[in-house]
């Protein structure tokens, strides 16, 4: 059983929540979300919101908070092989209610199909907020180029301004 070791990023002014599935090995080692250099999350998000690419954890956290974006993962613990979402078994979900109740979050976005399926399976019944699936920023999602990901992720702009 692997335990999620990264605290959520959010504050009372957060307007949207972006959920991943479970942190990769590299992210768990780094202690922050999307730590693998080939994951395009930070490049996509910074391009969408028009900010310089954040280079360290403090810059990443500040960019999220400044733009009213909360970030966490669906799964709190699970059996997983390396970083493979498809290998997730015996998942236990994070409790999203304190974040939603303590903020202005009205919209939830999931980063890819696995996060969306896990959210619907484990979290929707308690939060009663629909999720909007965005294409995964994982390098395994080779069907999406960086410009195409940026274009698809621009939908979040309608909810954070």
- Which residue range is the domain that position 89 belongs to? 2-160
Q: What is the model's pTM?
A: 0.95
- The domain tally of the chain equals 1
What value does the CA radius of gyration of the chain take, rounded to a whole number of Å? 14
pLDDT tens digits, residue range 1-16? 988 899 999 999 999 9
CATH of the domain at 75: 3.40.470.10
Q: Are 119 and 76 in contact (CB under 8 A)?
A: no
Q: Tens digit of pLDDT for each residue in 102-151?
A: 999 999 999 999 999 999 999 998 898 989 999 999 988 999 999 999 99
């Amino acid at each position: 059983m692997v335990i999620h070791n990264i605290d959520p990023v959010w504050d009372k002014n957060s307007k949207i929540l972006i959920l991943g599935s479970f942190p990769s090995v590299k992210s768990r080692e780094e202690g922050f979300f999307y730590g693998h250099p080939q994951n395009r999350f930070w490049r996509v998000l910074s391009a969408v919101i028009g900010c310089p690419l954040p280079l360290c954890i403090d810059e990443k956290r500040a960019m999220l908070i400044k733009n009213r974006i909360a970030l966490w993962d669906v799964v709190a613990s699970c059996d997983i092989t390396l970083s493979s979402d498809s290998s997730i078994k015996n998942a236990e979900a994070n409790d999203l209610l304190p974040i939603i109740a303590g903020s202005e979050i009205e919209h939830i976005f999931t980063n890819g199909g696995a996060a969306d399926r896990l959210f619907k399976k484990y979290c929707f019944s308690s939060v009663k907020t629909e999720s909007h699936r965005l294409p995964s920023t994982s390098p395994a999602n080779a069907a999406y180029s960086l410009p195409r990901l940026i274009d698809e992720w621009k939908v979040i702009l309608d909810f954070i301004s």
